[in-house]
Structure 1
């Protein structure tokens, strides 16, 4: 999902309009168009362009490293997790690839949606991508959390039943289910509409149409449910890890390797979970708030502040929340890469100290981890 444009586009969108009403923005005065150009047409396009490049490069690099890790024999214990995190990078990469060019085109058109999409079909496609590539990372994050919980709390069942095919089936089911949900407005169960300031499309929260409210509320509830599932599973996994670490009696090389692999994946999972919660919870909560308060963004505009300051505040907050959510696709791969390459060793040392692991095996484990992270294979 791509970054929503900046408030400078107020010059081009005094009020909300339907995608089929392409003549609305064409009636804007030349004075307003001049104001839009002064707002930074050539400069502001650098923001979505730089975000697109950062997101695509980060996700491509993450997919490359995950593929190399997956091919190594010593990563057998992590194959299911690697498949999940690889699918997360692929989802974010695809979302960036589909939405970024549209956003850049709108910026180049002085942030006037009608110049890019006179028919309104592109708005539906953009909104579908926003919903599809918004929910998928949340669901995949939940799948990763559940996978780690099963691996730690039920290792025997996990080793006997959790095969690569099962993981692939779950991931394909997530993509298929989310795509089916995102297609509902296409058949009339909800609506994707142009949102304030008139330069991007998302789920409509117009309370005058019950179907729109049901679809928007379902989207928000599914997102919050996935965040709650991820958080709960991670807490259960951390509790099991600490308990096992305190009660560990074996100091074999295999036991130490298991602890290292588990600690790596948990650190990566916690990082991605924090990004998901920080980026998505404000938007999902605001959507539910607007639905319960029977408010929508249809009245948002540059003159609304004088008429209804509270609604204008909601409009600004919603726009900020969407921008924050759009950062998720960009931050996910870089969090994964940084935790693996730069911060992993320090985090593992702190986690070992906090969990009160046996002092006899602590130094040896840190030496093993330090040696392995310095090797090229340390990305595995």
Structure 2
């Protein structure tokens, strides 16, 4: 192994790469928000808009588009990047496609239908159905009449037969469909000027800027193929087959990992930062797959990433120092905080300042910052 790096250097590098060391009150535009290359998951009450705000980015909804991509989750991207994103987020192979759609692949395999062929069939039908903005339920009902039994399942919560969820989600962008923001249930509509054939390219054909393996290494490096595979829901074998040739080995905590050659200098040279941020539960910074690097204690990991009801995290310069949860009531916002260890007066003041920014972002008044265990 050529060299080793410390956990502090890793945290500094990632914090800087996620641009969380920039002023929250900044006026950067979307072209200067690097994480949009990989996408910002829009989950939770504040979602991607808050992730952009704490990176000092001015939100312009006309420049952004929302689509189901990685892990079937809704992500924001720059609108002009959507064709490149569609290529980058496509499965690497038939085996990868099968893994990404989970149990939906079993009946397809039993019927002798290749997974990528099935996804192309679903995408073509979805494109045809959405001639105008269409609610997900209506889309699902129409799809059910257009595909055969191996594509369908009986859904107990709905008491209805409809398409499996993951093929539906993974085919949408390939069909040239985006999600209307702030709609529940989701509304799909056509992306203007879309000309791509569904699943006609894979990540191997993608612009390197949007390559999802390189993207993971850019924002979460040093990392292993297993980390990337988990992030993508892809087989490790496929990730290894597409591993960047310019990825260099480096040791982190005794483990062999990789960093892109172009990022090596930043890994060792990113400065320590003392900025405090209130990260949302699904902020990109905490979407990493080597959770033990950020939170070494297994018990603490369960509080940051519980199965249900994730909290937000209080992070100072890349290190989690506590948890937070919003408690809204009308035009008032209470922020409940759980410090890890003892906070100084200045640390508490920095959190209070960020809570005020959150309240302003939500268009409400901060009523209280309360400590809970």
* TM-score calculated relative to the size of structure 1: 0.23
Q: Which has the higher helix share?
A: 1
Select the structure that is richer in strand. Answer: 2
**Larger Rg, first or second structure (1 or 2):** 1
Which one scores higher on RCO, CA 8 angstroms, separation ≥ 6? Answer: 1
